[in-house]
Amino acid sequence: MALRLRGATSGYIELKAPASAGDNTLTLPTNNGGANQLLKIDGSGNLSWQANLTFDGTQLNVKGSGTDILKIESTDAGAQGTNLILQHSPGAGNMAANDVISLLQFNGVDDSNNPTTYSSIRAVATDVSNNSEKGDLTFFTRNGSTFAECMRINSNGDLNLGNNPTNQYGYKLNIQDSAILYAQTASNNGTELKLYLDHGNTVANFGTVSTSHLAFVTANTEKVRITSDGDLTIDNGDLKIGTAGKGIDFSINSDGSRAVTTNGNLFDDYEEGTFNAQLGGATNHGTHEITGGGTYTKIGRKVYMQISFQNSDLNDGASGQVIIKNLPFTFVDSTVNSSHVCAGVSADFVTTNVTYPHSGDMNRYVWQLIASAGHIKGYRVNDGGSMTDWDASHWVASSMELRLNISSLTAT
């Protein structure tokens, strides 16, 4: 059964009941309602105009006086709940890179009742090429008259923070700003940490704000600490300089009237080691020689050596000036720039079963490092005269021993 209402000139509107009507009664509203209002039913057949739910053919407007305005619920028993789809379908060929697919706008009014958009979440199609599509999620916020992007999650899952952030190097976290990070344990008297970029002075500041210390941890164990007084402590590890010629620079200390060499304030090396010293005569060292032990400590360019030959027996055929070879470094010759170099000469030694010819009261025996030859040579300093060679023939007794301390400067 149906009820037809014919138009004054043509056509009709038909209200038709279902085959099994169920004895239902619908009561119409008592007025025509407002523009774009929708009808609602109260469950008893009474129809009324819904003032808080309007649709003008373009925009559905849901208005309420409380805080719980809209609820979308799914009663599906599956693992996935409600699926809200915001679809943008501009037609074939009309999508372009960086089109905004959908927006969630957060609007309100200011203290003068002016409508204002305070923040926004936007879905951006950064690449619309078939099979290469990419999408970003952007977040906009308002700061006075400026409404700008402040955060972006790009298609690679990278998080970009800042004003219109870019991620030119592909980091998982990219921050474009000067004040990067501030963290604290409490609002008052807490431990504070900051990361700040000072572009004007090209400095990246990282550390504590208060009197707290700064510690660096690996394997969940503190390894390095910088105290609030500026002291550096390495709890478990070594300080290693990764580039040759670099070290600890003490140039901040005044040199006064002293003449400091190039990089003379740079502590760039420390080393301890051993070497096998060889003693023999200059004439036939390669044929007749003995091997002893040597240790050294190198501090910067200064090398301190301790050389020992114990219970040694140099072949009786050894001849020429006694020399010690096979030194651990290339040294500066003690005869070069003698006004400034006082190294490579030593009278700090003891011997056993070695003879000292012409050992008068004013005669002395010394060792001198001759860098050009790479040897330490033995000399007798004559009474009132020049130095003469200490011949190897005085070193051929059995059970000969020598203990010598000598220092010098390396060439570099």
Shared domain for 200 and 283, answered yes or no, is no
Shared domain for 286 and 402, answered yes or no, is yes
The answer to whether residue 246 is domain-embedded is no
Does position 48 have pLDDT exceeding 50, yes or no?
yes
How many separate domains does the chain show? 4
The pLDDT tens digits of the residues spanning 155-193 come to: 999 999 987 667 777 889 888 888 888 888 877 778 888
The pLDDT tens digits of the residues spanning 100-155 come to: 999 999 999 999 999 999 999 999 999 999 999 999 999 999 999 999 999 999 99
**What is the rounded average pLDDT of the residues 217-240?**
91
| Domain end (from 177, 199, 221) | 177
Shared domain for 281 and 223, answered yes or no, is no
The answer to whether residue 85 is domain-embedded is no
Higher-confidence residue: 90 or 26?
90
Shared domain for 140 and 216, answered yes or no, is no
Amino acid at 346: S
The answer to whether residue 114 is domain-embedded is yes
Shared domain for 282 and 401, answered yes or no, is yes
The pLDDT tens digits of the residues spanning 36-45 come to: 888 889 888 8
Q: Are 390 and 375 in contact (CB under 8 A)?
A: no
The pLDDT tens digits of the residues spanning 233-270 come to: 998 888 888 888 888 888 887 777 666 677 778 888 99
The answer to whether residue 13 is domain-embedded is yes
Shared domain for 325 and 402, answered yes or no, is yes
The pLDDT tens digits of the residues spanning 268-292 come to: 899 999 999 999 999 999 899 999 9
The pLDDT tens digits of the residues spanning 296-346 come to: 999 988 999 999 999 999 999 999 999 999 999 998 865 545 444 445 889
The answer to whether residue 24 is domain-embedded is yes
Shared domain for 284 and 391, answered yes or no, is yes
In Å, what is the CA distance from 60 to each residue of 49, 54, 83, 245, 329? 15, 6, 19, 73, 88
pTM (predicted TM-score): 0.61
Shared domain for 158 and 200, answered yes or no, is no
**What is the rounded average pLDDT of the residues 226-231?**
92
The residue length of the chain stands at 412
Longest CA span, the chain = 151
Q: Enter the tokens of residue 187.
A: 């609002």
CB-CB neighbours of 192 under 10 Å: 16
Shared domain for 390 and 288, answered yes or no, is yes
The pLDDT tens digits of the residues spanning 93-114 come to: 999 999 999 999 999 999 999 9
- Give residue 340's pLDDT: 45
Domain interval for residue 373: 270-409
Shared domain for 196 and 325, answered yes or no, is no
Shared domain for 164 and 191, answered yes or no, is no
- Give residue 260's pLDDT: 67
CA angle 88, 92, 94 (to 5 degrees): 65
Mean pLDDT (the chain, rounded) = 88
